[in-house]
Amino acid sequence: MPQSVTSAPLVKKLFEIATPGIEITAPEATFISNDNKLSVTMHLTPAATFAGFAVWDTPSLKSPTFEPFFNPVTIKSQESAKYSMSFEVKK
């Protein structure tokens, strides 16, 4: 899914990101161990509202973070929004 027209600039402005980001347009990411013996795939839903991933890695962090985000939604009274994340491990 293409990134939202409003999400990417909003995130860049919010966190003062000056350099252009690397777009990940699929609602999944796979992490592979250094020895290639284990992989973990993260699947996100709903795919239609997936906007991208934010990776935070600065000298002050003990560990980088990798966070998905979705297009902004307005939730009215008595309505809800549902998002989910699942993980698949392969050895």
Residue type present at position 65: T
59-90 pLDDT, tens digit each? 888 888 888 888 888 999 999 999 999 999 99
Its pTM stands at 0.66
DSSP state of 9: H
What is the residue whose two structure tokens read 């935070």?
A: 56
For the cut 60, the answer to whether the pLDDT of residue 2 exceeds it is: no
Task: Give burial (CB, 10 Å; 0-12/13-18/19+) of 51.
Answer: buried
The pLDDT value recorded for residue 15 is 67
27-57 pLDDT, tens digit each? 998 989 999 999 999 999 999 888 888 777 7
> Among candidates 30, 24, 28, which has minimal Cα distance to 3?
24
4-33 pLDDT, tens digit each? 445 667 766 766 666 666 677 789 989 899
For the cut 50, the answer to whether the pLDDT of residue 1 exceeds it is: no
